[in-house]
């Protein structure tokens, strides 16, 4: 239905733009998801009613690594997040679609997995990618998990949900995210890990 399509588009836009509008949308959706007292769907409706039709929703640029493998250095020192990273890496490697190899040298690592704490970031994690604009190949990624949300019991993140979040951010790091996957993740939150559609998408991305 049309309203559902608009809703999906708003979620994707909110998660992929740094504009004030996107931040407000993201905050409204996050408040509903986390079940803050006094928050209901009318909060989202208020944001939606003030939307501008001039904003566009970004598409995936198809960036990827030269091959379906990358070295990764776990820089985080928090035991919970280190364990989540390791489990997420193992889960991705089991798919065979992409292989992460752990390294002890941060200076040569393709991917650095770390953490941060920011109540205003509107995200449980992020992946900051560097891409060669001529080849459209990823050259380096910094993946970060947000301690403020993931390690605060008030937000209800279990170990499994933290692992799912790490899997999602590693998915960003390998170029996996398309509009479909990101919408699905935004709707389900961190309750689902790697799905078959994700594996198929990565296989297709690295087919040539």
Tokens of 198: 């994700």
Asked whether the predicted pLDDT for residue 185 surpasses 80, the reply is no
pLDDT score, position 52: 31
Q: Which one, of 103, 64, 89, 110, lies nearest residue 206 by Cα?
A: 64
Contacts of 176 (CB under 8 A, 6+ apart): 98, 198, 201, 202, 205
pLDDT tens digits, 159-172: 999 999 999 999 99
Strand (E) positions, the chain?
Answer: 69-74, 99-102, 111-116, 125-132, 137-146
Q: Which one, of 2, 40, 14, 4, lies nearest residue 186 by Cα?
A: 14
Question: Could you tell me the pTM of the whole model?
Answer: 0.70
Confirm if 180 and 155 have CB atoms less than 8 A apart.
Answer: no
pLDDT tens digits, 126-180: 999 999 999 999 999 999 999 999 999 999 999 999 999 999 999 999 997 644 4
Asked whether the predicted pLDDT for residue 4 surpasses 50, the reply is no
96-106 average pLDDT score: 97
User: Which of residues 186 and 117 earns the better pLDDT score?
Assistant: 117
pLDDT score, position 24: 52
Q: How far apart are CA 122 and CA 30, in angstroms?
A: 8
pLDDT tens digits, 7-20: 555 555 555 555 55
């Amino acid at each position: 239905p049309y309203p559902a399509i608009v809703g999906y588009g708003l979620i994707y836009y909110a998660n992929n733009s740094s504009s004030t509008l996107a931040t407000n949308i993201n905050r409204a959706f996050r408040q509903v998801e986390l079940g803050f007292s006094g928050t209901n769907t009318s909060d989202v409706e208020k944001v939606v009613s003030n939307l501008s039709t001039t904003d566009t929703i970004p598409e995936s640029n198809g960036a990827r690594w030269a091959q379906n493998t990358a070295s990764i250095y776990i820089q985080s020192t928090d035991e919970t997040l280190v364990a989540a990273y390791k489990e997420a890496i193992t889960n991705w490697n089991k798919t065979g679609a992409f292989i992460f190899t752990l390294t002890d040298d941060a200076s040569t690592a393709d991917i650095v997995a770390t953490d941060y704490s920011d109540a205003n970031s509107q995200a449980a994690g992020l992946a900051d990618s560097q891409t060669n604009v001529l080849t459209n190949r990823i050259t380096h990624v910094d993946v970060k998990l947000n301690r403020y949300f993931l390690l605060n019991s008030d937000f209800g993140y279990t170990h499994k949900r933290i692992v799912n979040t790490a899997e999602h951010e590693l998915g960003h790091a390998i170029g996996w995210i398309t509009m479909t996957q990101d919408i699905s993740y935004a709707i389900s939150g961190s309750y689902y890990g790697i799905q078959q559609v994700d594996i198929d998408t990565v296989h297709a991305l690295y087919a040539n």
